[in-house]
Amino acid sequence: MSTADVLCKVWLFQGLTEDQLNAISSFTFQTTFDPGETIVEEAHTGNGLYIVLSGHVEVVKGLGTENARRAQNRKRYCAGQG
């Protein structure tokens, strides 16, 4: 499956033309993370967008505080500012 094929299934990119998807694809790369590995941290400046192709991510707001909130997201989820 090409990167453009993956992108067209993500809500953020739906409706784009094949040429537009191919243009965006040229700026992408695929990576793998280990279970429990931190991908992005709250309050840190990011420079990317993550699309989960398999597995899941846990999003924690307020990590290390008594008011921490958690959510789990599954594939094709967009996690911003990585």
Highest mean pLDDT among 15-19, 28-32, 42-46, 60-64: 15-19
Q: Is the pTM of this model over 0.85?
A: no
**Residues 28-57: pLDDT tens digits?**
988 899 988 888 877 777 788 888 888 888
Using an 8 Å Cβ cutoff, are 50 and 39 in contact? yes
**Which segments of the chain does DSSP mark as H helices, in order?**
3-7, 18-25
d(CA 75, CA 56): 6
Domain positions in the chain = 1-30, 32-82
pLDDT of residue 77: 47
CB-hemisphere CA count at 13 Å for 4? 11
